[in-house]
Amino acid sequence: MGCCGAYCGTCKVKEASLCKGCGWGYAEGLRTLDRAICAVKRCCLGKGFSSCAECPEAESCGILGEFHGKNGDKYRKYRQAIQYIRRFGYPAFFLVADGWKDAKGKYPTAK
């Protein structure tokens, strides 16, 4: 799971070991956050969160809002993931997302 709401379980780049993910190596001191390019990651991990879904300021965050406001379906899906996790929690999100074939999977509809 990316800080921004990206679901890494279906990512081809990650599968090819070309991406270590957002959080890998920082706690162990193998990477330093001040060298991170991504502003979302610097903010999220700098506050001690695993993803922006944990941040009480997520809905009003300018950094996250700007990122989620970019053109492209994937950014809307990232926002949707953050909202889903905030509402239902990580276990519910991963239960749904682990069945996806790609990052644009569907969420269950309310009955």
- The per-residue pLDDT for 110 is 61
Quick one: average pLDDT of 17-33? 83
Predicted confidence band at 85 (pLDDT cuts at 50, 70, 90)? Answer: very high
Report whether 105 contacts 99 (CB < 8 A): yes
C-alpha–C-alpha distance, residues 11 and 41, integer Å: 18
- The per-residue pLDDT for 86 is 96
Quick one: average pLDDT of 90-100? 93
C-alpha–C-alpha distance, residues 4 and 2, integer Å: 5
- The per-residue pLDDT for 111 is 53
What percent of the chain has pLDDT above 70? 98
Closest by CA to 9, choosing from 103, 105, 108, is 103
